[in-house]
């Protein structure tokens, strides 16, 4: 079964919009785990506009499933991850002022840098994943770098699938097959939703984990958080 890791950035955004501690991020994380999710994901940014660095430290004491921290490996982010020691760190090349992640790594250009960063995390017992497009050359370079997993950036899939272009999944299937051949674990995330997750899961061999936040929280406004988590879990068993 593919694991579901719920990104709770949007919960932090709602909390920060009013000040105080409503909704309580730690309680929401615990509740999501209680509803059956197998992981919690956060993506702190330097301006702390949603997840704060202290949230990462506090969540480490609360999360009992897999804890995944995403972000650009600037020094402050690396220090945070090394201090909290999550289950997994996902390296994302997002600009400081980016609204959301919008590209995977060029693992050829940044090979030396990424290799050094990954080795530091792995030496501290933290599983590593690299955010990637479906470019086969970048996947091959990722394997040479020594990462444990890749996370397929699925925005293009989600956008084209919504238009009825189901053939878009072919490049993701081929990328997953290649990654498997190199011994890389496969995660996926960005704009996956209840509408497209089953089709994606059925076409990606050995999909280990999906990280879903924006769609899941938005769907929960209508359907309820516990119900939506279980809807995803049901689809990921398909």
- The C-alpha torsion from 179 through 180 and 183 to 188, rounded to 10°, is 60
Q: Tell me, what's the pLDDT at 43? A: 96
Q: Tell me, what's the pLDDT at 1? A: 87
Q: Tell me, what's the pLDDT at 103? A: 77
**Could you tell me the residue ranges of all domains in the chain?**
3-236
Query: Which residues are designated catalytic?
Result: 43, 70, 190
Mean of per-residue pLDDT scores for the chain: 95
pLDDT tens-place string over residues 138-191? 999 999 999 999 999 999 999 999 999 999 999 999 999 999 999 999 999 999
Answer CATH for 3-236 from 3.20.20.70, 3.30.565.10, 3.40.630.30, 3.90.230.10: 3.20.20.70
Q: Are 44 and 71 in contact (CB under 8 A)?
A: yes
Q: Tell me, what's the pLDDT at 94? A: 80
Segments of the chain scoring below 70 in pLDDT: 95-102, 238
């Amino acid at each position: 079964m593919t694991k579901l890791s719920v990104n709770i950035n949007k919960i932090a955004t709602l909390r920060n919009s009013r000040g105080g501690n409503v909704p309580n991020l730690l309680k929401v994380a615990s509740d999501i785990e209680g509803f059956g999710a197998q992981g919690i994901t956060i993506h702190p940014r330097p301006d702390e506009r949603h997840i704060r660095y202290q949230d990462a430290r506090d969540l480490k004491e609360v999360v009992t499933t897999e804890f995944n921290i995403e972000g650009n490996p600037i020094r402050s982010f690396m220090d945070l991850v090394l201090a909290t020691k999550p289950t997994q760190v996902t390296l994302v090349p997002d600009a400081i002022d980016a609204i959301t992640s919008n590209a995977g790594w060029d693992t050829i250009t940044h090979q030396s840098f990424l290799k050094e960063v990954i080795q530091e995390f792995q030496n501290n017992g933290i599983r590593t994943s690299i955010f990637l497009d479906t470019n086969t050359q970048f996947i091959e370079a990722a394997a040479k770098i020594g990462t444990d997993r890749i996370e397929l950036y699925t925005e293009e899939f989600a956008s084209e699938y919504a238009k009825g272009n189901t053939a878009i999944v072919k490049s993701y299937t081929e990328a997953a097959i290649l990654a498997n051949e190199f011994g890389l674990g496969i995660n996926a995330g960005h704009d996956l939703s209840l509408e497209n997750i089953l089709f994606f899961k059925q076409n990606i061999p050995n999909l280990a984990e999906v990280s879903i936040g924006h769609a899941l929280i938005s769907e929960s406004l209508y359907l309820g958080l516990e119900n939506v988590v279980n809807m995803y879990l049901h689809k990921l068993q398909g």
